[in-house]
Amino acid sequence: MLNADQLLARLYALRKDYADDPEDETYQALHHAFLFISYNHNAFKDYVKSEAEKKGDRDE
């Protein structure tokens, strides 16, 4: 599973793929998700860590 920084980087890359049309709904969704997660990075890191631990429990 990707860590929080890798997920945020992937979201940033996806957002850039749609940046040529800032009115596009996909771009807007990616843009706002990226900004929200960036501003709440510590909470996102905690969430990703928790989900990774849950996944680890299921794999055993």
pLDDT tens-digit map of 1-60: 899 999 999 999 999 999 999 999 999 999 999 999 999 999 999 999 999 999 886 655
Which residues, including other chains, have CB under 8 Å from residue 22's CB and lie 6 or more apart? 28, 31
Q: What's the pLDDT at 11?
A: 96
> Into how many domains does the chain fold?
1
Does 10 reside within a domain?
yes
Q: What's the pLDDT at 55?
A: 83
Give, in order, the Cα–Cα distances in Å from 10 to each of 4, 15, 30, 56: 10, 9, 10, 22
Domain membership of residue 21 as a residue range: 1-42
pTM of the model as a whole: 0.82
In a 10 Å sphere around its CB, with 0-12 CB exposed, 13-18 middle and 19+ buried, how is residue 11 labelled?
middle
Does 50 reside within a domain?
no
With beta carbons less than 8 A apart as the criterion, state whether 30 and 15 touch.
yes
Does 52 reside within a domain?
no
